[in-house]
């Protein structure tokens, strides 16, 4: 039979392991050996510089040693030339940047901003900017 010191307040051992999340100190990790997950974006960026798989390339591009980046850009340009409007917009957004959308309200419904600050110094600075 187990003594009360070995059991938690509910009468079982749940959470009694020193590595249990409830027993961790601030900033301590539960699993120090866990792999750090990579974002999909970072993995894709790394893969873009790898040589493209020949089976996905056009016949005339095989054997040229194109990277995935080169192959994708070439395909996008071909599709834009064929009239694919979505690809055209994507290319223009990448080159020129997206068109800025104005922020504002209508005459009937003006836009109101509510700015909250904690200290008096910041409040004074914001008030000066608004009054300029």
pLDDT in tens, 60-97: 888 999 999 999 999 999 999 999 999 999 999 988 88
Residue 47 near residue 29 (C-beta atoms within 8 A):
no
Cα–Cα distance measured from residue 23 to residue 15, given in angstroms and rounded to the nearest whole number: 8
Band (pLDDT 50/70/90 cuts) for residue 2 is: very low
Instruction: Name the CA dihedral angle for 42, 77, 65, 68, rounded to a multiple of 10 degrees.
Output: 20
Total Cβ atoms within 10 A of residue 52:
21
Indicate the pLDDT class of residue 112, thresholds 50, 70 and 90.
Answer: confident
SS3 call for 67 = strand
The whole-model pTM stands at 0.48
């Amino acid at each position: 039979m187990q003594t009360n010191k070995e059991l938690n307040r509910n009468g079982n051992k749940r959470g009694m392991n020193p590595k249990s999340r409830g027993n961790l100190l601030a900033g301590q990790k539960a699993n120090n050996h866990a792999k750090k997950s990579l974002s999909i974006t970072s993995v894709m960026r790394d893969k873009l510089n790898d040589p493209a798989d020949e089976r996905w390339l056009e016949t005339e591009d095989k054997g040229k040693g194109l990277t995935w980046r080169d192959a994708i850009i070439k395909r996008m340009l071909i599709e834009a030339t064929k009239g694919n409007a979505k690809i055209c917009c994507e290319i223009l957004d990448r080159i020129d940047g997206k068109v800025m959308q104005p922020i504002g309200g209508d005459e009937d419904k003006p836009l109101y901003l509510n700015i909250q600050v904690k200290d008096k110094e910041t409040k004074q600075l914001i008030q000066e900017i608004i009054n300029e």
